[in-house]
Amino acid sequence: MAVLPIRITGDPVLHERAQEVEEIDEGLAALVHDMEDTMSTAPGVGLAAPQVGIPLRLFVYNWRDEDGALHRGTAINPQLLISPPPVGVPDPDDDSEGCLSIPGERFPLLRSHTALLRAVDLDGEPYEVLATGWLARIFQHEFDHLDGVLYADRLVDPHARAAQRAIRRNKWGLPGKSWLPGRDHLED
């Protein structure tokens, strides 16, 4: 399999709604395997197809919780139902989130604590996952990518301003910027 370049904020594919997957075939399976390799090399806990330049409603996730349970899968044409998000100020430690398309940056963002993911897997089988905590956050983050929304778009001040400064400082926000996990070094 291959590690794919990850698009950086500003690339149009990241800011538009992705298209439904019409067919699960060998080409889609190869894309999923490449996305898994890319996510692992980055490293990340989730990766949406638009992040690698493919405008399809598809994401992969791979995260081990604090109890050691592995949560791993492929979500094709997902639907996501979420509980109402909490009201208040995000905690800089507990609510800090990052994104491979805004590499090396982290900002706090309140997310819903519970999410129900309905999707189809790579075998074409429908499934549901009721997620809480960090897994619910992962699902919301990746699902947002499929609608052309990056987590920085959801930030409130002062974090929204800080994210915009980081994007300008790194000369992102323009089409055609990407980085290659395993080859390009990014500061944390």
Q: What is the DSSP string of 138-158?
A: HHHHHHHHHTT--HHHH--TT
pLDDT at 172: 96
Q: What is the pTM of this model?
A: 0.94
User: Taking a C-beta distance cutoff of 8 angstroms, is the pair 17, 148 a contact?
Assistant: yes
141 is in an annotated binding site: yes
Q: Quickly state the pLDDT bin for 188 (edges 50, 70, 90).
A: very low
Instruction: Assess whether pLDDT exceeds 90 at residue 121.
Output: yes
Give, rounded to a whole angstrom, the gap between the first and last alpha carbons of the chain. Answer: 26
145 is in an annotated binding site: yes
Q: Which of the following is catalytic: 23, 105, 128, 142?
A: 142
Reply yes or no on whether 20 is catalytic: no
Instruction: Assess whether pLDDT exceeds 50 at residue 187.
Output: no
Strand partners, 59: 48, 75
Q: What is the DSSP letter of 16?
A: S
Beta-carbon contacts of residue 75 (< 8 Å; ≥ 6 apart):
58, 59, 60, 61, 117, 119, 120, 121, 139, 142
Place of tokens 């001040």: 157
User: Taking a C-beta distance cutoff of 8 angstroms, is the pair 71, 65 a contact?
Assistant: yes
Q: Quickly state the pLDDT bin for 146 (edges 50, 70, 90).
A: very high
User: Taking a C-beta distance cutoff of 8 angstroms, is the pair 73, 17 a contact?
Assistant: no
Q: How far apart are CA 114 and CA 136, in angstroms?
A: 6
185 is in an annotated binding site: no
Instruction: Assess whether pLDDT exceeds 80 at residue 105.
Output: yes
